[in-house]
Structure 1
Amino acid sequence: MSITRPVARWWRAASLICIALVATAAVAHAQAPDDIAPEAVQSQFEKYHPDLKFRRMGLEAYERGDHADALRLFRKSAYYGDKASQGMVGQMLWKGEGSDADPALAYAWMDLAAERGYPTFVGLREHFWMQMDAATRERSIEQGQAVYARYGDAVAKPRMESQLRRGRSKVTGSRTGFVGNLTILVPSATGWTRMRGEEIHDPRLWKEYEYWQWQDETWRASPRGVVEVGPLSSGDAPRSDIEKD
């Protein structure tokens, strides 16, 4: 298992709907019957998906070298149960990116990222554990209690589900901001899947159980260690209150 490749590469295979949305919406923009700006489409979707919003923003900050801001944004995404962002926090703390290196706290965050048993994060958690001495391991267990109390699924999932319910009530029966001629990309276990704009209303993007199931399907199919970007595939698309610093 390798953890030496560029960090952003791990998450691109299961990255954001909204990253691809920005890139592809401009092409489809001229075809949109209501001439809705692609930025408005992104904003409308991300308003009720803060997990994806802050992960996207965190990746952008990371890629421009602003690690302190990236760490802050990944924590915001983690607040809504985003396991990829929780893993990024763990990796950055391990490497000392955006803050002083803290192996004990890094392990606590990677353990949190592995909470649902996703192979990618389980492998990284075990890699961290094997490199720590007994004292650091003990500290990581102690620090993990506070991390779980604030960011664990028991509290983070209800926050995200509240956002999904609010968004679902807004989009039900309305196509405002989401146009059928708009083509966007969504992550799948093998790479990217094309999705038409109207499919953004798919229940798996708005209903609580389906939303978590979609994430489980994506991440549990990922290999241990590094997540690679696969080829574009055609397949079925997956059917705020913001944390104060």
Structure 2
Amino acid sequence: MPEHHAEERHAHLLDLLSRQPFASIDDIQRATNASLPTIRRDLALLEQRGLIKRVRGGASLVAASSTLDESFDLRRKRNAREKGAIALAAAALVKPRSSLMINDGSSVLALAEELVTQARPLWVATSGLNIGERLASVPAVEVTVIGGALRASSFGTSGPLATAAISQLTVDITFLGCDGIDPELGVRFNSLLDAEIAEAMARQGSRVVILADGSKVGQRAIAGSVGWDTVDVLITNSLDAQWRDHLQNMGVEVIET
């Protein structure tokens, strides 16, 4: 498999570190397909920019406030074109005056930006602070940001305060980004906290829509809480015929962009 270009490698690495406190050299190689000398150069550059800290055997993320926007911006550039097309298809499912629930992440941030462009009247609850900020720029969109413990690297809230608030809401559509999708195990996450939020949101949506670009297909990740029996629609840019047939047999509508 070819090595990624520098910016894409950095996006993969920062995305990995946003979901786990430490990444080993082996973890980074799997995420970037890069050689050891290239990884060392990348780590040195990102440490110089204040985004990561090199530690024995790997790296950890630096959550300094001055670098958060840059870190997230690099991660969101990963498969940006594919995420944009998926966001456009997701926004097409939203009718004016709908109520929505959205978790945090770069794929659903792309959806939020598309909804901002369309500027239709909506009610939206989100665990993503950056998503709430973007949607609040539109007067016609009423935004509720779900409180809880804030993870600085992803701008997302989680924990018992967040899940308690979610349980009080009922919405037309829940939109969920994820870290992986597996044909048998369902929708997967690299964080137990993310999985808990996704499960809570899925229970409260009349329809549940998953946004997953091709890099997420076949990725099991470490935690899964949303089974295909809960999902109504999967929007992706890459799915083979066997996957498509399997999901459709389970009642999941597949939209390919």
Q: TM-score range by the shorter chain?
A: under 0.3
For CA contacts below 8 A with separation 6 or more, give which structure has more relative contact order. 1
Please give the TM-score of this superposition, normalised by the length of structure 2.
Answer: 0.27
TM-score by length of 1: 0.28
Which of the two has greater helix per residue? 1
Q: Which has the higher strand share?
A: 2
